[in-house]
Amino acid sequence: MTDIRYTYAVARIRALEVSLFNKAAIDQLMACETEQQCLQFLSEKGWGDVNASLDVEAMMECEEAKIWKVMEEVAVDMSVFDVLSYPNLFHNLKAAIKEVCTETENPGIFYDDCSISGAEMLDIVRKKEFSRLPANMVAVAQEAYDTLLHTRDGQLCDVIIDKATLDAVYAAGKAAKDDIVRDYAESTVAIADIKIAVRSQKTGKSLDFMKRAMAECNSISVDQLSKAALSGADAIREYLMGTAYSEGAKALDESSSAFERWCDNRMMQTMQPQKYESFSVGPLFAYVLARENEIKTIRIILSGKQNGFSDEAIRERVREMYV
């Protein structure tokens, strides 16, 4: 895409950013007393299909579809967003392997908004035609399939595929021409490694387990982080304080919810410089992530309202907005 076309695409995104939820809009949503009032508020903001009923899932799916409709309308090279689909693609592989090896069916478990649908992935796994998969999935598919078939260890199957997902994201970042994709990949893998360390420390996982689950990246040392996790929560915080993720250490001191919130907020912080960029794909990539973050945050609020959580409990989980 030429600079002129980027300029047009970014101008369109800047106009759309005005409609993104900011803190004031989140506060207004929080002021709604019930889930139904929240849905009515969202509808008035243009969320969902004006001709459809106020259904949470239908509204969220509609908003997710709108994201990609916008990207297609501005005529960008959609391949730049491939890296964002890797988690769903590898999830489909994991789900298909579990269904085939356990001979069970789980309706609604697959994503169809990626290059290989659930039905096609099931066909590949049932026939063991792993060569039909992208090159970066062939070996891991065979390994995960054999592991689950022979050991019945679902967690080990998860670890194998989740690690491969992170490796694929990081490799895509390394190969990308655009800085935004590299930054996204670095943050994604580092934050995932930190999550693995925190959860492994709480559940008493071994050093071998952590090293098998974590993916290498530039900003985190898998060796040092996994050893810190083995030593305890304080050691994890001490290690993080010496990295670019020191705010994560402070969030861990606060609460588990605060830490989970920080993980998502850190990605939004990574995207912030794109507000001032005009001649690259960066603002478009950031807009996609901002909208996904917005949808996730609103899901959290709606779920909290539905389950009768206090405003304080919900706010502790609310993510930082892009605008």
Cα–chain center distance at 38? 24
Q: Into how many domains does the chain fold?
A: 3
CB 248 within 8 A of CB 266: yes
Q: What is the pTM of this model?
A: 0.93
Domain around 147: 80-175
For residues 281 and 9, give the distance between their C-alpha atoms in angstroms, rounded to a whole number: 9
Dig out the tokens for 15 from the structure: 């106009």
Q: What backbone phi and psi angles, to 5 degrees, belong to 275?
A: -65, -20
Residues 169 and 85 in one domain: yes
Residues 315 and 299 in one domain: yes
- Residue-level pLDDT, tens digit, the chain, 323 residues: 445 668 889 999 999 999 999 999 999 999 999 999 999 999 999 999 988 788 999 999 999 999 999 999 987 788 999 999 999 999 999 999 999 999 999 888 999 889 999 999 999 999 999 999 999 999 999 999 999 999 999 999 999 999 999 999 999 999 999 999 999 999 999 999 999 999 999 999 999 999 999 999 999 999 999 999 999 999 999 999 999 999 999 999 999 999 999 999 999 999 999 999 988 899 999 999 999 999 999 999 999 999 999 999 999 999 999 98
Tell how far CA 98 is from the center of its chain: 22
- Please count the residues of the chain: 323
Looking at the structure, do residues 146 and 188 belong to the same domain, yes or no? no
Residues 66 and 84 in one domain: no
Pair 247, 262 in one domain: yes
| Other Cβ atoms closer than 10 A to 142 | 14
Domain co-membership, 87 together with 171:
yes
Give the span between the Cα atoms of 93 and 148, in whole angstroms.
13
Q: State how far the Cα of 198 lies from the Cα of 156, in Å rounded to an integer.
A: 18
- Of 121, 147, 175, the one marking the end of a domain is 175
* 169 and 194 share one domain: no
Instruction: Kindly write down the DSSP assignment for every residue of 138-205, as one continuous string.
Output: HHHHHHHHHHHHHH--HHHHHHHHHHHHHHHHHHHHHH-SSHHHHHHHHHHHHHHHHHHHHHHHHHT-
Alpha helices per DSSP H over the chain: 3-17, 23-31, 35-44, 56-73, 82-102, 118-127, 135-151, 154-175, 179-203, 207-213, 222-231, 233-241, 246-254, 256-271, 282-306, 311-315
CATH number of the domain that residue 6 is part of: 1.10.132.50
